[in-house]
């Protein structure tokens, strides 16, 4: 049972991080498009919030990718020295 929960979390956490990044990127691009079109619904505070969200989720996504690459390199090194 605990193995199943661990494997679900192992796949779920990276997917959620990736989805969060895609959503924040989409929000940022939509707000940036409103600014360029001079849409009356444009609010500078919303764009700033979307920008901060995109940067934060990008950092989390980058750290996750670094950890994954680190584990892959660690496993390759371990197999090479067996």
pLDDT at 80: 93
> pLDDT at residue 56 above 80?
yes
| Residue 59 domain boundaries | 2-80
Residue where the block lists tokens 């990736």: 18
In tens, the pLDDT along 10-46 reads: 889 999 999 999 999 999 999 988 888 888 888 889 8
> pLDDT at residue 57 above 90?
yes
Angstrom distance (rounded) from CA 60 to CA 20: 10
- Domain count of the fold of the chain: 1
Residue where the block lists tokens 């505070």: 45
pTM for the full model?
0.79
Helices 44-80, 2-37: crossing angle, 10 deg rounding: 140
> pLDDT at residue 65 above 80?
yes
């Amino acid at each position: 049972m605990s193995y199943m929960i661990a494997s679900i979390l192992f796949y779920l956490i990276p997917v959620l991080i990736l989805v969060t990044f895609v959503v924040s990127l989409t929000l940022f691009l939509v707000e940036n498009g409103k600014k360029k079109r001079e849409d009356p619904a444009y609010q500078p505070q919303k764009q700033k919030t979307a920008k901060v969200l995109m940067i934060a989720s990008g950092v989390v996504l980058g750290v996750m990718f670094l950890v994954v690459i680190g584990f892959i390199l660690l496993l390759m090194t371990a197999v090479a020295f067996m």
